[in-house]
Amino acid sequence: MKSIFELPMTVRDYECDLQGIVNNAVYQNYLEHARHEFLHSIGLDFSQWHEEGKDALVIRAELDYKQSLQPGDRFLVRLEVVKKGNLKIDFLQEIFRLSDDKTCLNARVSSVVMTNNRPLSNAIFFDVLDENGIEYRKEN
């Protein structure tokens, strides 16, 4: 993938379940954290948006689990952005393990920004990307 942001992270033992590997749900935590850190890197803030009455909501997530992360694994969460029509913001994300250069997860996470139960134009987000000179793909 043509990653525009990557966040290094480390598995924490409490994130592993009784199988001794990272629990499936925790990968969504990793993905969310990387998206929010990406927002921060371009001056946007998920929690501040909430206080202003704008809530970014995930509407669909597709997650392909390839390899199980284990205690102590270090990995990158990579991210690419897709402008999907005028409302959706899609994130293509990869979890890439550093010890063996293996992709552990591929994901596509679709989101919209809502205010008063109505979706906002995704320009709220892509205008900031444009200002920062950050590349993204467009899909209909």
Query: Known catalytic residues?
Result: 17
> Is residue 24 close enough to count as binding a second copy by CB under 8 A?
yes
Q: Which is nearer to a second copy, 40 or 137 (CB)?
A: 40
| Residue 102 found at the interface with a second copy (CB under 8 A) | no
**What length is written for the chain?**
140
Contact 74, 97 (CB under 8 A): yes
Cα-Cα-Cα-Cα dihedral of 39, 42, 48, 54, to 10°?
A: -70
Task: Map residues 38-57 to x or -, x wherever contact with a second copy holds by CB under 8 A.
Answer: --x----xxx--x----x-x
Does 58 engage in binding with a second copy (CB under 8 A)? yes
Provide, rounded to whole angstroms, the least separation between the CB of residue 48 and a second copy. 8
| Residue 62 CB burial class (10 angstroms; 0-12, 13-18, ≥19) | exposed
Angle of CA points 137, 94, 86, to nearest 5°: 30
Which residues make up the interface to a second copy (CB under 8 A)? 12-14, 16-20, 23-26, 28-29, 32-33, 36, 40, 45-47, 50, 55, 57-65, 68, 71-72
